[in-house]
Amino acid sequence: MKLPLLPTTGVGSFPKPSYVTGAKGRLDESSRRATREFIEHQETMGIDVLVDGEFYRGDMATDYYRALGFPVADWTRSYDNRFWRKGIVDKPLQRADPIQLEQFKYAQSLTEKPVKAILTGPTTLANWGFNSHYKTREELVLSWAEVVKEEALALVKAGARYIQVDEPAVAERYWETNLFRGGLRRVTEGLGVYTITHVCYGEFPLVYPNMPNLPVDQIDIELSGELDLGLERSNLLRMMKEDPLTKYMDVAAGVIDVRPGVSVEDVETVVRRINTVLEVLAPTDEALRRIWIDPDCGFRTTKSPTVAYKKIEVMLEAVKQVRERL
């Protein structure tokens, strides 16, 4: 991988332009247009490893249930006033057709730069749906892992060099970390490409001791809030400094807050966050070269494309300044 110090990337999603309609996991004319425009913007801004923006996506879990032909329940409350429709596993899980292959192939055809292929992980798929078929959680998670593994193999065959397995739900059931790791291993083992898992909310200190054992090349973790707290107030940062994940794998540190209503950070704030990342995770030059920089999560919840682009520009300027200092 010919990448600069502190490679930059995205996590996945981007706010949908107003002309994108009817997204339920499949590309149509409007989501193709949005993908093309977003790829062009990322290239112009100078991001190192691109993402496709997920303009075709309805929901990162429900789209998989639909793709496999499972029924979808009525609206379920997630948190605050956010709702989504959960799929229902009512028969054995089996992948008959590609789920995200066409989306990746289209995005990668638009650029010479690498595009991350992004999959939803088995733990998140199990957590964010209903199950009336499998008798145990282990059967459910590992069956989802087989489906995701088949999709990952198809993506590798199509030329994907970076495969990200999104597992935002890992800390929801922190007592199942061993099962999470087992499901992730089934997906990533033997792929022969650079593998990533993304986690983005929950009680990280409770699962952190198991993070060094994850079967991936990189863990991508939401950190901007912890970085603002600093080492004195953040238990997670203190744990990271005591036993840096960069001893075991690459780390993509989220330094941009993507939550709705959060204003665009100034460059000085993001430089300070990156410097804290280096203080915590880069005790050696070797560790420094294992650090990537990206937003906390996908920008879908940011809502405004204008705000999201400004946040990316600030992130890239902050990285530029830190690179120059280093």
* Residue closest to 288 by CA, chosen among 5, 48, 2, 8: 5
pLDDT at 25: 85
Residue 22 predicted with pLDDT over 90: no
pLDDT band at 203 (very low <50, low <70, confident <90, very high): confident
Give the model confidence (pLDDT) of 226-248 as tens digits: 999 999 999 999 999 999 999 99
Q: Residue 97: CA atoms inside 13 Å, Cβ hemisphere, count?
A: 10
Residue 42 predicted with pLDDT over 90: yes
Q: Which sequence spans correspond to the domains of the chain?
A: 29-325
Give the model confidence (pLDDT) of 142-169 as tens digits: 999 999 999 999 999 999 999 999 998 8
Confidence (pTM): 0.94
Three-point CA angle 185, 87, 184, nearest 5°: 5
Residue 87 CA to residue 249 CA, distance in Å, equals 34
Lowest mean pLDDT among 16-30, 74-88, 115-129: 74-88
With beta carbons less than 8 A apart as the criterion, state whether 51 and 115 touch. yes
Strand stretches in the chain, DSSP E: 72-79, 82-89, 117-120, 129-131, 162-166, 194-199, 218-222, 250-254, 291-294
Dihedral class, residue 116 (left if φ above 0, else alpha if ψ from -120 to 50, else beta): beta
Dihedral class, residue 18 (left if φ above 0, else alpha if ψ from -120 to 50, else beta): alpha
- Residues 6+ positions from 243 with CB-CB distance below 8 Å: 212
Fold of domain 29-325: TIM Barrel (3.20.20)
Percent of the chain exceeding pLDDT 70 equals 98
Q: How much is the CA Rg of the chain, to the nearest whole Å? A: 19
Alpha-helix residue ranges (DSSP H) falling in 46-203: 62-67, 101-109, 122-127, 137-157, 177-188
DSSP letter string over 40-79? HHHHHHT-SBB--B-TT-S-TTHHHHHHTT--EEEEEEEE
pLDDT at 205: 84
